[in-house]
Chains A and B, each alone.
Chain A
């Protein structure tokens, strides 16, 4: 019986603590400074201003670029809030995985549904 094959040894401990290292902020501890948060908020505000700007077509004609740029700006905002304010970039990857699992599944399943409804044509 080759039961012994199963007694592999666990990986050395890596995890929450180890994964802090991929954060590229300048403090020594896990959480960025208030000023860093404020900077992110400023970026978010600027992007939002840009988004709203697209609404006033008279100022600038975005043409076919409109929808892709709106989606792009949305994704950037989404990403910034998730990684900074929700700390995904400083926390264990497991959290992010749980969330992205749901997110990608939702995007995939509902895009297929809309496709079956011929939403895009």
Chain B
């Protein structure tokens, strides 16, 4: 029913007048509402973005601790930090945590916070569904991790959890059950949020914000949402089958009964390859905002950027079996998927060239954000190149299931995705919090992370080619693996240090903020709409919804060409930016029901594993909450609202400031 919710908020482009017709009245939230309860019921896309970001950072630490355990175990031959069994659980949960509980929600944080701001909207299309997505995601994340306590250990089948390894025979604890159900819950969260954000992008753009004027970050996030929309149902099917096999004795992956375990591999990777673009495209978007800003040039080849993103999104659906070259899918399939994989490198290369061309001849400013962005391009390129080496099937036969693969995907995921999102954190921090992250500490953060990252994952290329296989809990002396493993472990400790530096930076820059000048709306002299409003962003985002006249509209409010054709400043930030002082803008009312709905789902999960009565209780809770949700008016009828403020809002238009 949630999907059929009546349009909860018509915070359309700019006109507040139509809310006056609403018989129920509307709610103006008090500006000072900062208690913890407000966070539980918030439907504000910015707060939800912050919740996603903060929870993602928490799970980054969890996944990081698991990574360090792996590296400590492998630092020297015959390691004994973890038993073989626990080692299996730790690397599986590491992979699952980093992918589903760290990088995806961190990207969701950016999507929630910045899509509405970049397209000039006051919220997403369905604010309560947005809250629902977050709470479901969180309940799934907690559910997944409780398997350490109540499930007899984490899942131990690797993050792609191949059949028949995932069956009860080989994985008798409840870990895999938690994996199967937990990922389904997380999938619901991402699915709901992808629908929400797609509708937002298509339907809530400010006047004049055509699709081909949307900032590239929004574009890449939109493509990501489409990938989520279509990829999640596929893994849901796979998880569904796995769950029935394990809990209700179905025969989907039982070769003795004539089933084909390759079915799992196909379903998983039909999802899995789009998933890698789900991880990397948001970072591409971030980098595409940062590099033009600090090169003081428009993005080179905007159309190419957008269309190569779309091309990647399409082609990402036709390459999945490159993960299965050694699974026995037959020579024709191998040849076909090998070819399609080689082609997908083309649009990716286009992007890299465009970033380079953007920097070419620009007036570069190497802030921490810019350093992270440039490092993202460089490290991603390395990972991309080793990826092309796997597309050659005969070579991949040597590489697969070795540390060479581990090196590859960390160069793309960590070097591309994580560094890219860190660039975004440094770039948008002042917008979100109203103060900068400390640049000096940021430099330490950056350099330690970059060195640590290369020291950790660079040597894994060598180890892999030397034949060290992936997912082994230890190795014997004398294979020549000792030195590089120790190097990788040292590197992983450096990464840990850099993350601590980041955390310290967060604390310190907040503490120092009162003594420093505020960043103002547009500290970096940037280009897109979110920089035209105060930092931190006021609750209603835009005083008046902007009228967009072109790409990089905000930049054109500040600069124009004079008669000689040189670009000159025509307005200061203070002149061009909105003041954020509008009052009485109508915002959707908070609601506790999204949280209540989300609480029911893990109960269903525990119930399926342990006791069906519990599942029934969870289902009743969810259904009752959904009904209460449907009954609850979108706008709180008891809240007061002063209509006179509407007129005031309409007066303070920025339109006169357009060049």
The chain A residues found within 8 Å of chain B, CB to CB, are 1-4, 6-8, 10-11, 94, 101-102, 105, 108-109, 112-113, 116-118
Is B152 at the interface (CB under 8 A from chain A)?
no
Given A116-B266, A117-B262, A109 and B550 contact (CB-CB distance below 8 Å):
no
Is B561 at the interface (CB under 8 A from chain A)?
yes
Contacts of A6 in B (CB 8 A): 213, 298, 302, 550-552
Option from B208, B317, B318 in Cβ contact (under 8 Å) with A10: B208
Option from A4, A10, A109 in Cβ contact (under 8 Å) with B561: A4
Contacts of A8 in B (CB 8 A): 212, 550
Residues 276-298 of chain B: 1 if any A CB is under 8 Å from the residue's CB, otherwise 0? 00000000000000000000011
Closest chain A residue to B321, Cβ basis: A116
A8 to chain B, nearest CB (A): 7
Is B230 at the interface (CB under 8 A from chain A)?
yes
Option from B266, B302, B556 in Cβ contact (under 8 Å) with A7: B556
B343 to chain A, nearest CB (A): 16
Interface pair B262/A10, CB less than 8 Å apart: no
A108 CA / B549 CA spacing, docked (Å) = 39
A46 to chain B, nearest CB (A): 33
Option from B270, B330, B556, B561 in Cβ contact (under 8 Å) with A113: B270
Contacts of B321 in A (CB 8 A): 116
Interface pair A118/B330, CB less than 8 Å apart: yes
**A-B contacts besides A1-B297, A117-B262, 18 pairs, CB < 8 Å:** A3-B552, A3-B555, A6-B213, A6-B298, A6-B302, A7-B551, A7-B556, A8-B550, A10-B208, A10-B210, A101-B230, A102-B229, A108-B317, A109-B234, A113-B270, A116-B266, A117-B266, A118-B330
A11 CA / B211 CA spacing, docked (Å) = 11
Contacts of B317 in A (CB 8 A): 105, 108-109
Query: Most chain-A Cβ atoms within 10 A of its Cβ — which of B202, B333, B550?
Result: B550
Closest chain B residue to A116, Cβ basis: B333
A102 to chain B, nearest CB (A): 6
A36 CA / B226 CA spacing, docked (Å) = 35
Interface pair B210/A102, CB less than 8 Å apart: no
A67 CA / B305 CA spacing, docked (Å) = 45
Give the bracket for the number of chain B residues in contact with chain A.
Answer: 20 to 34
Interface pair B567/A1, CB less than 8 Å apart: yes
A-B contact pairs, 20 of them (CB 8 A): A1-B297, A3-B298, A3-B567, A4-B561, A6-B302, A6-B550, A6-B551, A7-B549, A7-B550, A7-B556, A10-B210, A11-B210, A108-B317, A109-B270, A113-B266, A116-B321, A116-B330, A116-B333, A117-B266, A118-B330
Contacts of B329 in A (CB 8 A): 116
B352 to chain A, nearest CB (A): 22
Is B260 at the interface (CB under 8 A from chain A)?
yes
Closest chain A residue to B296, Cβ basis: A1
A112 CA / B270 CA spacing, docked (Å) = 11
A107 to chain B, nearest CB (A): 12
Chief secondary structure at chain A's binding surface: helix
Contacts of B262 in A (CB 8 A): 117
A2 CA / B329 CA spacing, docked (Å) = 51
Closest chain B residue to A7, Cβ basis: B550
Contacts of A116 in B (CB 8 A): 266, 321, 329-330, 333
B481 to chain A, nearest CB (A): 36
Within 8 A of A (CB), among B309-333: 317-318, 321, 329-330, 333
Interface pair B298/A1, CB less than 8 Å apart: yes
Contacts of A2 in B (CB 8 A): 298
A8 CA / B213 CA spacing, docked (Å) = 9
A10 CA / B330 CA spacing, docked (Å) = 50
B576 to chain A, nearest CB (A): 16
Closest 3 CB pairs of A and B: A7-B550, A6-B551, A116-B333
Interface pair A102/B298, CB less than 8 Å apart: no
Within 8 A of A (CB), among B531-552: 549-552
Residues 190-228 of chain B: 1 if any A CB is under 8 Å from the residue's CB, otherwise 0? 000000000000100000101011000000000000100
B428 to chain A, nearest CB (A): 23
Interface pair A105/B202, CB less than 8 Å apart: no
Contacts of B229 in A (CB 8 A): 102
Contacts of A4 in B (CB 8 A): 561
A97 CA / B208 CA spacing, docked (Å) = 23
Given A7-B551, A116-B333, A117-B260, A102 and B567 contact (CB-CB distance below 8 Å):
no
Closest chain A residue to B213, Cβ basis: A6
A3 CA / B557 CA spacing, docked (Å) = 13
Contacts of A105 in B (CB 8 A): 230, 317
B276 to chain A, nearest CB (A): 16
Closest chain A residue to B262, Cβ basis: A117
Closest chain A residue to B329, Cβ basis: A116
A4 CA / B552 CA spacing, docked (Å) = 10
Contacts of B226 in A (CB 8 A): 101
Closest chain A residue to B198, Cβ basis: A98
A99 CA / B297 CA spacing, docked (Å) = 39
Contacts of A94 in B (CB 8 A): 202
A113 to chain B, nearest CB (A): 5
Contacts of B561 in A (CB 8 A): 4
Closest chain A residue to B550, Cβ basis: A7
B565 to chain A, nearest CB (A): 9
A115 to chain B, nearest CB (A): 8
Residues 555-574 of chain B: 1 if any A CB is under 8 Å from the residue's CB, otherwise 0? 11000010000010000000
B305 to chain A, nearest CB (A): 12
B558 to chain A, nearest CB (A): 12
Closest chain B residue to A102, Cβ basis: B230
Query: Most chain-B Cβ atoms within 10 A of its Cβ — which of A8, A109, A118?
Result: A109
A10 CA / B210 CA spacing, docked (Å) = 7
Closest chain A residue to B549, Cβ basis: A7
Contacts of A1 in B (CB 8 A): 297-298, 567
A102 CA / B213 CA spacing, docked (Å) = 26
B345 to chain A, nearest CB (A): 20
Residues 490-516 of chain B: 1 if any A CB is under 8 Å from the residue's CB, otherwise 0? 000000000000000000000000000
A117 to chain B, nearest CB (A): 7
